Amino acid sequence: MADSLSSGGRDVEQVVAALDGFRIELPSWGFANTGTRFGKFVQGGAATTIEEKFADAAQVNALTGASPTVALHVLWDLPKGKADVPEIKRLEQRFGVSAGSINPNLFQDAEYKYGSIANPSAEIRGNALAHLLDSVEIGRELGSKDVSLWIADGSNYPGTQSVRRRIEWMEAVLKSTHDALGEDQRMLIEYKPFEPAFYHTDIADWGMALELTRRCGPKAKVLVDTGHHYQGTNIEQIVAWLLHLDALGGFHFNDRKYADDDLTLGSIDPYQVFRIFHEILSASVVERANVAFMIDQSHNLKGKVEAMVQTVVTAQELYAKAALVDRAKLAQLQQECRLVEAEECFRSAFWTDVRPMVKEWRLARGLAADPLQELAASGYVEKITSERSAKNAASVSSYA
């Protein structure tokens, strides 16, 4: 409760209310070895099994109190499909964190070289649909709300594919997937302007994703990945539009300098994350409740668990800053077109050092005052590095 904190006042109450309701999902793949298309950099403490991923996620949640769910990747985490569901349930019970969004893989198999749900081959499109339907069933059995779709389909050269026919093929597969969803399930459609396709990507921006959700039905929503935009894109304006249209399903949070860099959240442009959170907090309670916050990053150089704790802590601090915006005052200043005063009202929340308030919130809830410092003192990273180094070293040859 707010009155359990020593500072008191409106600011603390705003921060407490925001942090008590803030949840951000961890990606299982964020704990495993990753890299770039030029190579992979193996870390001794990286998770090598789904059990180790759950263990690491539980550690992050215990330190931050904000991440009780783990996004699962069907191909990487459930290679046997539905047959792996009992093991996931066992891990949930053991580690106290639950399966979150279910992420199909429609980009890795060689047969998807020319696309998955937009492939010219009806057989391959059928295979992609079967995988999507299996993913929906996995989500249903695990009680997961969201099936999160990133479609890597596209082409590299003009004239080599029919853009319009591929739209029709996508619509058909996605509609079939939507219709298979359970009563409490949703389908989140992500977009990306380029990579791995470099001439055209089949779902390149939020407008295309939005139209596909409309064609599919009410259980389909748009997923915004903060790295999946051209330079200079006003992402918070996209967020405002999607909220207005009741079409925003969730986020994949990360940061970028040039393209889809998958850097840790807030490491390049924390002000942008603040602005996005402001739009979310400006929405109604009902609208906010339907927006899922998820992390999607590639910790190639930073330690896996350390980077994840750092990210969640950063997200909490930026969300707390956004909660401090005096929205009633800001609305009045905006209405009167008092530009400098409105901007200062907005910016003053961003420049507020919320760390003391966030620290008090943590202590009042039995959490570590400084999660990163507590992680370092716990010896957890050294322990998992000792236990996993041999397995990770043996895996190096598989990246050759």
Residue 311 falls inside a structural domain: no
Q: What percent of the chain lies above the pLDDT cut of 70?
A: 97
**Position 204 pLDDT exceeds 80:** yes
Is the pLDDT at 5 greater than 80? The verdict is no
Q: Does residue 2 register a pLDDT over 70?
A: no
Span 90-111, pLDDT tens digits: 999 999 999 999 999 999 999 9
Q: Report pLDDT digits (tens) over 61-88.
A: 999 999 999 999 999 999 999 999 999 9
In the structure, what pLDDT confidence band is assigned to residue 317 with cuts at 50, 70 and 90?
Answer: very high
Q: Give a yes or no: residue 281 inside a domain.
A: yes
Determine the average pLDDT of the residues in 257-271.
Answer: 96
In the chain, % of residues over pLDDT 90: 93
Residue 180 has pLDDT above 60, yes or no: yes
What pLDDT does residue 223 have? 98
Residue 269 lies in a domain: yes
Q: Does position 6 have pLDDT exceeding 70, yes or no?
A: no
Has residue 382 been placed in a domain? no
Average pLDDT over residues 132-161: 98
Query: Is residue 311's pLDDT more than 70?
Result: yes
The gap from C-alpha 229 to its chain's centroid, in whole angstroms, comes to: 15
Contact, 5 vs 12, CB < 8 A?
A: yes
Residue 17 placed within a domain: no
Residue type, 102: I
Amino acid 8: pLDDT: 58
Kindly state whether residue 363 falls inside one of the protein's structural domains: no
- Sign of the CA dihedral 248, 235, 299, 357? negative
Q: Kindly report the backbone phi and psi dihedral angles of residue 255, in degrees, each rounded to the nearest multiple of 5, phi listed first.
A: -135, 165
Helices marked H in the chain: 9-21, 50-64, 74-77, 85-95, 122-142, 163-179, 206-216, 235-244, 270-282, 285-289, 304-323, 327-335, 339-351, 355-364, 371-378, 380-394
The pLDDT of residue 400 is above 60: no
pLDDT at 4 over 70: no
> 257 lies in which domain range?
22-303
d(CA 22, CA 301): 28
Say if 349 falls within a structural domain: no
Query: Quick one: tokens of 263?
Result: 């850097």
Report the SS3 class of residue 36: strand
Average pLDDT score, the chain: 95
Peptide bond into 158 cis (omega under 30): no
Domain count, the chain: 1
The residue with tokens 């996004």 is 71
- pLDDT over 90 (residue 284): yes
Report the pLDDT value the prediction gives residue 399, as an integer from 0 to 100.
38
**67 in a structural domain:** yes
CATH code for the domain of 248:
3.20.20.150
